[in-house]
Structure 1
Amino acid sequence: MTQSEATPPIELRGVTKRFRTPDGSTYTALRDIDLTVAPGEFCAVVGPTGCGKSTTLSLISGLEEASTGTVTIDGRPVGGIDRRVGFMFQQDAVFPWKSVLTNVAAGPLFRGAARREAIDRSRDWLRRVGLSGFEGHYPHQLSGGMRKRVALAQTLINEPRILLMDEPFSALDVQTRQIMSDELLDLWELTRPSVVFVTHDLEEAIALADKVVVLTVGPGRVKDVFPIDLPRPRRVQEIKFEPRFVALYERIWNSLRDEVQAAYTRTAGEAA
């Protein structure tokens, strides 16, 4: 086994993250998080609102620093934004004044690619996400699902070794979400980056992932890790009817349910 094979692409060890609040007090978002993502592994993270799921992504991406503990990529401590990492946010990060073609080409151009190469690669990725013929359109002329396809192409054209996704499909209707999930899996299979996918939707997590990590009510800790032994390739809508999917859902929900209830009780108490 080579060193690159032995070293996990993503590793968090004993990670705690605290924030200073406006009133000067300290808020602990994560406490003593241990998390490892293997090469090419699709890891979904679920948990109640406020458990630190998005904060975990920010630590891996280098947008935030851990208060204590270590966050490493390929065995090296994260020290800022890393070009090997792609981040797809909940809100589209498209430039409204650029066409679809130049939006997708922006990443390669920023990284020093020649304009012709960047444009050619942009056309190829738009073809892959089913947007050939829309190169000259602008974001406001697209549906929500089409904008998400632009965002996918915009992220994957840079061929990230690590892909971070923060509820990227949450604003879409159910049918479009399922289509986008299938497209994501098809595109992920091309290069197999290591993925950390944050979602509130347990069905989505199970349908997409190789493992599902359950975080506790905040401050977030890893409560359970569930391997997902469903066969690939998968079709999201079809896999949900498999008996094994139903069994996995029941097991994971039994772990997640108490955390969701605790979060609700806390929120209700604070509002009273």
Structure 2
Amino acid sequence: MSLVVLDHATKRFMTSSGGLHTAVSEVSLTVEAGEFVAVVGPTGCGKSTTLSLISGLEPPSEGTATVAGKPVTGIPDGVGYMFQTDAMLPWRTVLGNVAAGPMWRGVAKDKARDQAREWIERVGLKGFENYYMHQLSGGMRKRVALAQTLVNNPSILLMDEPFSALDVQTRALMQNELLNLWSDTNAAVVFVTHDLEEAITLADRVVVMTASPARIKDVFTINLPRPRNVEEIRMTPEFIAIYSEVWQSLSSEVEIARTTGANRVA
């Protein structure tokens, strides 16, 4: 049984004019335990909405979303969500933010703090436990967000462009950090990104979505060996060949989205 199943899932939203906007249309996707799936597509096509269907933040208008064999009717157990912007409490320290999740799930305070310290060390922030968010760099905040998510031992990790705001060097460091931490788990990852290089570097499969409304156009298996170093693997002929193949599929959708957007403006 697949850990995540979207079966002909469609999502429509009411517009300000009273009409309906279809964000996602007839999407069927499975994700296995321990699999890393990246989702790419034009800006605004509905990639993030796909994550919302899996997480239970939005119900499908048609079709079904299933996690661990159960229909998604709310936020399923075992789902961790890492957003593009930080979801941390500024009045809490690093330790307080990372320990908050286990405590909200009923773990005793001392045990939750022990678990938090372990993950803070694993993401390379030992010694920063008592710092506040405004005292950290962007990359350090992302490390806190990773620890905050992984401390709950999720079976499914949903990531919505988590590294897009980082500079190139820090982004590469965080990509390697994510791969190293994920390799020690059996979590399924669904990773939304605009960056095709990032998608290929990280994933076992890359899902290409169409211009809005989002449909699955192609799915590419990424046969690059693991473990991967994100900076080294991008220089290999195998990576370049895969990039060229996936870009041929994606580029036409990007052009459709650009043309449609230009026509709307005109």
TM-score, normalised via structure 2 length: 0.99
Query: Can you list the C-alpha shifts for 1:145-170, whole angstroms capped at 9, x where unaligned?
Result: 00000000000000000000000000
Which residue type is aligned with residue 198 of structure 1? V
1:231-263 CA-to-partner distances (Å, cap 9, x unmatched) read: 000010010011110000000000000000000
- Which of 250, 259, 264 is matched with 1:265 structurally? 259
Which letter maps to 2:244? E
In structure 2, the partner of 1:234 is: 228
1:29 aligns with: 23
User: SS of 1:93's equivalent?
Assistant: coil
Select 2:7's aligned residue among 13, 19, 26. 13
Ranges in structure 2 where 5+ consecutive residues have no aligned partner: none
Pairing of 1:23-102 with structure 2 (within 5 A): 23-102=17-96
* Shift of residue 74, structure 1, vs aligned partner: 1.3
Deviations 1:81-119 (A, max 9, x none): 122100000000010000000100000000011111011
Structure 2 equivalent of residue 116 of structure 1: 110
Mapped contact 2:67–2:76 kept (Cα < 8 A): no
1:150 matched to 2:132? The reply is no
Give secondary structure in 2 for the equivalent of 1:27: strand
| Equivalenced residues, count | 266
Q: Distance in 1 between matches of 2:113 and 2:32?
A: 33
* Residue 169 of structure 1: aligned partner: 163
The aligned residue for residue 121 of structure 2 is: 127
SS of equivalent to 1:190: coil
Q: Distance in 2 between matches of 1:79 and 1:16?
A: 15
Give runs of aligned pairs for residues 195-214 of structure 1, distance below 5 A.
Answer: 195-214=189-208
Residues 55 and 75 in structure 2, CA contact (< 8 A), matched pair in contact too: yes
Let me know the Cα RMSD of the aligned residues.
Answer: 0.5
Q: Percent identity?
A: 62
Superposed CA offset, 1:190-216 (max 9, x none)? 112000000000000000000000000
- CA–CA distance in structure 1, aligned partners of residues 17 and 4 of structure 2: 34
**Displacement of 1:221 after TM fit?**
0.4
Determine which of 171, 187, 191 is the counterpart of 2:181.
187
SS of residue in 2 equivalent to 1:112: coil
State the SS of the aligned residue for 1:106.
Answer: helix
Q: TM-score, normalised by structure 1?
A: 0.97
Q: Which amino acid aligns with 2:116?
A: S
| 1:39 CA drift (Å) | 1.4
TM-superposition CA deviations, 1:5-24 (whole Å, max 9, x none): xx100010111100001110
1:191 is paired with a residue of what secondary structure?
coil
Amino acid at match of 1:74: A
Shift of 1:50: 1.4
SS at structure 1 position matched to 2:183 = helix
Structure 1: runs of 5 or more not aligned: 1-6
Q: Distance in 2 between matches of 1:23 and 1:192?
A: 45
Between the aligned partners of 1:206 and 1:192, the Cα distance in structure 2 is: 20
Once residues 46 and 29 of structure 2 are traced to their aligned partners in structure 1, the CA distance between those partners, rounded to angstroms, is 13
Q: Which amino acid aligns with 2:40?
A: V
Q: Secondary structure at the match of 2:164?
A: coil
Query: Which AA in structure 1 matches 2:250?
Result: L
